[in-house]
Structure 1
Amino acid sequence: MSEEVSRNINIKEPRWDQGTFTGRAKHFFMVTDPRNVLLSSETLEEARVTVENYRAGIMKPGLTEDELWRAKYIYDSAFHPDTGEKMFVIGRMSAQVPMNMSITGCMLTFYRTTPAVVFWQWVNQSFNAIVNYTNRSGDAPITVNQLGAAYASATTGAVVTALGLKSLATRLPPIISRFVPFAAVAAANCINIPFMRQRELKYGIPVTDENGNRLGESPNAARQAIVQVVVSRIGMAMPAMAIPPVIMNALEKRAFMKVSKLHPCLLYCFVSTEWIYRTY
């Protein structure tokens, strides 16, 4: 049984040591826990009150450390860290696993016709725009014009890339066409992220010393950060979008697939490692 909570817990930081893989894994499993999407408004409000009261030095009688950390992760899953406003539900980190797995499964399944390619690339970029807006920085807010430009450019880039590669893939082995969605997503990330963070490229991002003291803003640090984000986003897409096509190409030749007619989209969602690779 947990004892009553101490007044000296720093709930601004993760509960577990982020210097270890296990600590990072536990933290991100909590952050992306899909069950938080199903929590009621009353539960979210109760968590918000608990966290804000604790920060103000007010503690509910009988509150335990486990309950405080639970409230902290519920609060973080639903409320913006800078503005404190409740975030749109499908833009929350807790919605990323089911949303990304569903959209990825559909993109990898419905790639044979042009209307399907256009539709699912549009759905994916629309979802990305919602996530980017929901998680916008309070220190460097995204304007409506920036959001619109990034959305339009990323959607156009993804669709043009997908259709262009789809056309080329008709003259190549069938498995090649299965990688068209991955190439389109990679191209969209190369366009979308710099557009969304153009303000940082122009004015820089905050730079601090080892004690957390803000020294100023650096455009060079922003460029390095954006390159790293683009590369990591493409790398994160690889397990879910590059591995399943190989598996599905082999499975669809099996007799049980032809007999059961099990929809490929369900298998894509099953074999997707979306939740696991995001712990990195």
Structure 2
Amino acid sequence: MTDATALKLNLNEPKWDQSTYLGRAKHFFTVTNPLNVFLTNLELDEAKNTVEAYKRGQLPNATEAQLWQAKYRYDSAFHPDTKEKMMLIGRMSAQVPMNMTITGCMLTFYRTTPAVLFWQWFNQSFNAVVNYTNRSGDSPISNSQLGLSYTLATTGAVTTAVGLNSVVKKAPAIVGRFVPFVAVAAANCINIPMMRKQELQNGIPVFDKDGNRIGDSKIAARKAITQVVFSRICMALPGMSLPPIIIHKMEQGSFLKRYPVMNAPIQVLLVGLTLVFATPMCCALFPQKSSIGSSRLEPELQATIKERGGGIDRVYFNKGL
């Protein structure tokens, strides 16, 4: 690869056009690739070194394809704001293997209260890790805030699941299978805003189109968190609605009656197949680098923009995942 070709690559931005849904979907299919969880620390550190060296203007001995591969390995494991390596189970590449197991078990073992309590608790424990890992900005989260978010989300999910199970006892069997989804949706509405409470209180960094930081915006934080909550609920919907319908039909046949032990493995597999597509496609609903009109910002930020000479119609921020 010639120097001229190398210098045309912008590794600060995704490979595909993020103004279109298709471009965002291609981007997230790469970022959430489950195979990335098998990358070693050495491979991830090498990817980081390659990307950072390139951004400094150094041209590594790598092809264009290898540079993009390094960028996406780097993006899959390092936080975009803090630049820290994220814990393995909190990375988006771990969403499919982790969620297919947890969701499959929630959908299988939903009939008894002890099973509901355990799997809703387990799911919210995992969600707390994911929400913390994929928060927007570089604001620290206190242990008390982590504990409060975790407690409220777990309580909300368990209360919703147990309460609805008691309500739908006399309803058709298929209705009860959707209780886990309602509980998860309710928990997302609690867990994500609580885990990112610091952002709602202090704001998240907003930048101009050239990447210059303008300040912190609470309004942008509200928009970011609303988008993430909606995306997460949409992400859970296919995996928690299609497999229950399929399993319900299968239970009326002879196979699962003869081999009931296969219920959980089949359900986990169905959820996994669904999440392979639902995870990146729902992450792509909104741009990762989201934006908001400068006229909608706080008065003090609008004043800052005017002091800089104006001319900034929109500001940009990392919405988190």
Give unpaired runs (5+ residues) of structure 1: none
Matched residue SS, 1:235: helix
Worse overlay, 18-27 or 200-209 = 200-209
Separation in 2, partners of 1:219, 1:232: 20
State the 1:13 CA deviation.
0.7
Aligned partners of 2:220, 2:53: CA distance in 1, in Å? 36
Shift of 1:114: 1.2
Instruction: Provide the C-alpha distance between the structure 2 equivalents of 1:168 and 1:266, rounded to a whole number of angstroms.
Output: 28
After superposition, the Cα gap between the structure-2 partners of 1:87 and 1:247, relative to the gap in structure 1 and judged at 3 Å, is same
Q: Measured at CA, do residues 215 and 138 of structure 1 come closer, stay the same or move farther in structure 2, by a change above 3 Å? A: closer
Aligned length: 278
Distance of aligned partners of 1:53 and 1:203 in 2 relative to their CA distance in 1, 3 Å threshold: same
**Counterpart in the other structure of 2:222:** 223
Relative to 1, partners in 2 of residues 1:168 and 1:101: Cα closer, same or farther, differing over 3 Å? same
TM-aligned CA distance change 1:85 to 1:270, over 3 Å? same
Q: Percent identity at matched positions?
A: 59
Q: Please identify, of 201-210 and 230-239, the stretch whose mean Cα deviation from structure 2 is larger.
A: 201-210
Q: How does 1:238-249 map to 2 (within 5 A)?
A: 238-249=237-248
Q: Secondary structure at the match of 2:28?
A: helix
Instruction: Name the TM-score, length of structure 1 as normaliser.
Output: 0.90
Map of 1:154-193 to 2, 5 A cutoff? Answer: 154-193=153-192
5 Å matches for 1:1-280?
6-61=6-61, 63-208=62-207, 214-261=213-260, 263-272=262-271, 273-280=274-281
Once residues 52 and 213 of structure 2 are traced to their aligned partners in structure 1, the CA distance between those partners, rounded to angstroms, is 25
Please say if residues 131 and 192 of structure 2, whose CA atoms lie closer than 8 Å, have aligned partners that are also in contact.
no
Q: Is the 8 A contact 2:136 2:204 kept in 1?
A: no
- Is the deviation greater in 20-29 or in 244-253? 20-29
Aligned-partner residue type, residue 173 of structure 2: P
How far 1:229 sits from its partner (Å)? Answer: 2.8
Q: In the aligned structure 2, how far is the partner of 1:40 from the partner of 1:225?
A: 31
The answer (yes or no) to whether the contact 1:3–1:65 under 8 Å persists in 2 is no
Structure 2 contact 161–183 (Cα < 8 Å) conserved? yes
In structure 2, give the amino acid aligned to 1:17: D
Structure 2 unaligned regions, length at least 5: 282-321
TM-score by length of 2: 0.80
